[in-house]
Amino acid sequence: MQPEEQAFESSTLAHELWQALASAYGEIGDALGESPPPAAEIKKLTRSILELEARLQPLLGPISAWRAQSAAEERLQALWLESDRIIDDLCQHHPALVRAAVVARDGVGEELLGRARRQRTLAAYLPKPTRLRLAARSV
């Protein structure tokens, strides 16, 4: 395979992975907007993001090297430009997503603390269990 074709194939795969990452992060953002956030769905999306990032990682070095060369085809440059737009968008929205996740986590934590407090308060009003003493009778 010629270097230009290999660069295009790898860049196309990377572009598809960036799109999938953007979609997964969008889904997480939507899920965090629900009350309460669906933990199982968020966990599944998080695993998906980790898998996508693991697949993307080995492509980044070679793509960077190809991009450093000044003579790339127009279709390759257009693909890189579109990937850059996706990456920029992710970088801009990622901090807001992290803040939303912290708020959701803190909200769940606050709810759990509130439940624990209510249980302690209720326990204070319940009768204390008494220990039964059984005395053996001598006959």
Task: Return the sign of the alpha-carbon dihedral for residues 58, 59, 60, 64.
Answer: positive
Domain ranges of the chain: 3-125
Residue, of 38 and 37, whose pLDDT is higher: 38
| 89 close to 22: Cβ distance less than 8 angstroms | yes
* pLDDT one-digit tens code per residue, 56-98: 999 999 998 888 886 778 899 899 999 999 998 888 888 777 7
pLDDT value at 112 more than 70: no
pTM of the model: 0.70
Say yes or no: domain 3-125 is CATH 2.60.40.
Answer: no
**How much of the chain exceeds pLDDT 70, in percent?**
71
